[in-house]
């Protein structure tokens, strides 16, 4: 992956990194789209490229004996994309179709508008990585070429190779492929990612025609992955809305009160103060009761320590999930990338169980008190028009 994604999209070109990644895999100076995918088919390989908030990611999968050929192809795509005009139009059309679908989804609209409430105009985390219809429609081939010059660079590159290969020989081979790739003269820009809680609670309601369900997105600005409270707030998040059938929210708001079709909490992991959020799908008649119940569960985290058994279940789950994730090549590669991206240390995988189990009930409560600000939440509601 390449460090630097949608947070570096220029104003008026939101979604540029995403569109650039989509088109970059569709042709190079020496290979057409058909040649690229004919080669992949002949090798039984797959390849994808995309952009998130902080990275442009690329992922290839193949048999061990074919990895040098696939790696050569990836290097060509990274370094010398040609951005064929016809492929730009095709990729643009696919993204616009997806954005039109998002505009008709109460869940997606609520999530998008929550970010608009939490982050002010111009903040890098305010816009979705895929951008907006108007910005995607306005992008030119020259915009994509400029984005490529900014983001596709060896000094921003993180590569994880996992599979049937010999490590030192594989690294030597990658160095041969990329050794003459020079970095731009200017360093990669560093966006301002800090955010602030609003002075008081804020909400916005969005009406969508022909809908029968309302979706709620309630949240706050969160904390960076490297924040000292990360593990405590992560466990608070699991307990309130992740464990089992969506934690306390699933037990209370959905099952006991019957107010939601689903309800869960999520803490985004990133380099900045990414969203901490609760999402719920509800009958429009139950919106206010569901919001009240969600806030009650957040306040409960702040007002009383979690039960010992509840914390133990959470920690056992988190410690148990990582080995399962590492059983696949994909899971191991993504973990290694995260270790490098967030600077977690080469021994992170070995230290992880102790990091999780070191969190106390009091630490979970303090993290909830410090970061969830139950009286200063942001709330976006998308659903059918009111009476």
Examine residue 190 and state whether it is found in any structural domain, yes or no. Answer: no
Are residues 153 and 209 both part of a single domain? no
Residue at 98 is within a domain: yes
Structural domain includes residue 335: yes
**Does residue 196 belong to any structural domain of this protein?**
no
* Per-residue pLDDT tens digits for 25-51: 999 999 999 999 999 999 999 999 999
Residues 85, 211: one domain? no
**Do residues 257 and 315 both lie within one domain?**
yes
Q: Find the CATH number of the domain harbouring 347.
A: 3.30.830.10
For residue 78, is pLDDT > 80?
yes
Stated pTM of the model: 0.93
Residue 343 pLDDT greater than 90, yes or no: yes
Percentage of the chain lying above the pLDDT 90 cut? 89
Whether 116 and 235 share a structural domain: no
Same structural domain, 161 and 57? yes
Task: Give the number of domains in the chain.
Answer: 2
Q: Is residue 211 part of a domain?
A: yes
Q: What is the pLDDT of residues 45-54, one digit of tens each?
A: 999 999 999 9
Residue 251 confidence (pLDDT)? 87
Residue 189 lies in a domain: no
Both structure tokens of 241: 């809305």
Whether residues 232 and 295 fall in one domain: yes
> What's the pLDDT score for residue 243?
79
Where does the pLDDT of residue 387 fall: very low under 50, low under 70, confident under 90, or very high at 90 and above? low
Over the stretch 297-318, which tens digit does the pLDDT of each residue have?
999 999 999 999 999 999 999 9
* Single residue among 163, 178, 193 that ends a domain in this structure: 178
Predicted local confidence at residue 269, as pLDDT: 95
Closest CA to 375 of 296, 258, 260, 273: 296
- What digits encode the pLDDT tens for the residues 180-223? 898 888 899 999 999 999 999 999 999 999 999 999 999 999 99
Q: What is the pLDDT of residue 358?
A: 98
Please indicate, yes or no, if residue 324 is contained in any of the structural domains. yes
Range of the domain at 297: 202-383
- 82 shares its domain with 152: yes
Report the C-alpha gap between 42 and 356 in whole angstroms.
45
Would you say residue 57 lies in a domain?
yes
**Is the domain of 109 the same as that of 208?**
no
Q: Which of 178, 212, 227 is the last residue of a domain?
A: 178
Q: What is the mean pLDDT of the chain?
A: 95
Question: What pLDDT does 255 receive?
Answer: 87
Q: What is the pLDDT of residues 225-278, one digit of tens each?
A: 999 999 999 999 999 998 766 789 988 888 888 889 999 999 999 999 999 999
Mean pLDDT of 10-27: 97
Q: Does 87 share its domain with 230? A: no
Q: Are residues 81 and 45 in the same domain?
A: yes
pLDDT of residue 244: 63
Domain check: are 174 and 218 in the same one? no
Same structural domain for residues 157 and 229?
no
């Amino acid at each position: 992956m390449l460090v630097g994604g949608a947070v570096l999209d220029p104003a008026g070109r939101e979604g540029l990194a995403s569109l650039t990644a989509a088109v970059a895999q569709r042709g190079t100076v020496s290979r057409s789209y058909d040649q690229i995918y004919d080669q992949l088919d002949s090798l039984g390989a797959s390849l994808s490229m995309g952009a998130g908030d902080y990275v442009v990611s690329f992922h290839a999968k193949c048999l061990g004996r074919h990895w040098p050929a696939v790696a050569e192809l990836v290097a060509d795509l990274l370094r010398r994309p040609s951005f064929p005009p016809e492929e730009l139009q095709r990729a643009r059309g696919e993204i616009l179709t997806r954005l039109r679908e998002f505009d008709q989804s109460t869940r997606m609209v609520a999530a998008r508008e929550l970010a608009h409430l939490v982050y002010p105009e111009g903040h890098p985390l305010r816009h979705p990585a895929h951008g907006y219809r108007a910005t995607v429609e306005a992008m030119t081939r020259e915009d994509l070429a400029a984005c490529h010059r900014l983001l596709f660079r060896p000094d921003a590159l993180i590569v994880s190779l996992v599979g049937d290969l010999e490590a030192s020989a594989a690294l030597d081979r990658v160095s041969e492929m990329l050794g003459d790739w020079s970095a731009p003269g200017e360093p990669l820009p560093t966006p301002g990612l800090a955010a602030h809680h609003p002075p008081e609670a804020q909400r916005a309601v969005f009406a969508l025609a022909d809908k029968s369900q309302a979706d709620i997105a309630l949240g706050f600005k969160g904390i960076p992955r490297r924040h000292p409270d990360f593990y405590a707030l992560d466990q608070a998040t699991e307990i309130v809305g992740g464990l089992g059938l969506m934690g306390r929210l699933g037990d209370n708001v959905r099952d006991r009160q019957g107010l939601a079709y689903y309800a869960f909490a999520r803490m985004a992991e990133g380099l900045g103060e990414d969203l901490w959020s609760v999402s719920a799908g509800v009958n429009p008649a139950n919106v206010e009761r569901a919001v009240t119940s969600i806030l009650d569960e957040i306040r409960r985290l702040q007002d009383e320590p979690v039960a010992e058994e509840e914390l133990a279940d959470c920690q056992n789950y988190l410690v148990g999930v990582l080995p399962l994730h590492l059983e696949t090549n994909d899971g191991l590669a993504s973990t290694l990338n995260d270790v490098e991206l967030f600077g977690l240390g080469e021994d992170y995988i070995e230290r992880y169980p102790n990091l999780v189990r070191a969190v106390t009930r009091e630490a979970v409560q303090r993290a909830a008190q410090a970061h969830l600000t139950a009286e200063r939440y942001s709330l976006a509601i998308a659903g059918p028009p009111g009476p």
